[in-house]
Amino acid sequence: MTYEPEHIISYSISSSVNGFDLQFTRCDCGQSYISFKNYRVNFTTATVRNNGRSPQRCFILFRNVLQDSVTSLNLKIERQDLSKHASNLWKQLKSIDIPLIDEFKRIAHLAARQFYSSEIRIINVTVQNTSVAVQPIVINTENDEGIQELLKDLFPETLPVSFLHD
């Protein structure tokens, strides 16, 4: 059981799936909790789990933090039920706590930038053509805008829009 500071509750929302109730509470001090019956744990800020695959979206980050909280409460919830709880809470949070949603979006954006910047490699390939003299393309690496424009021209469909625009 965790220490419960006496703060005025800013809001409290709940999700009920198959008779299993989870409650999300946010205090005026900015602290958030996940509660089940008389037990609660801190709902911590999302962290990016680098699993070598594409970066996680903001909802998946939220779901992972919820899963960690449920695990801390020693609850056993089926994966699909946990996803339903996450979806219910996420929908409610989108209308009442935009700064929290924005924080998850910010972390997801940073993860995407980190992932795509480490995965993209520009290589210079010279193609031999006997009919036309080919000049190698020179990229000024000091000018980030030039690289971004080149990437946009070369890969308009493969890169996410958020990667090309800050």
Burial grade of 118 (CB within 10 A; 0-12, 13-18, 19 or more): exposed
What's the pLDDT tens digit per position in 31-77?
888 999 888 898 887 766 666 677 788 899 899 999 999 998 888 88
- This prediction's pTM: 0.63
pLDDT of res. 42: 87
Q: Residue 145 has which token pair?
A: 């805008």
3-state secondary structure of 131: coil
What's the pLDDT tens digit per position in 64-103?
999 999 998 888 889 999 999 999 999 999 999 888 899 9
- pLDDT at residue 165 greater than cutoff 60: no
Distance CA 80, CA 103 (A): 25
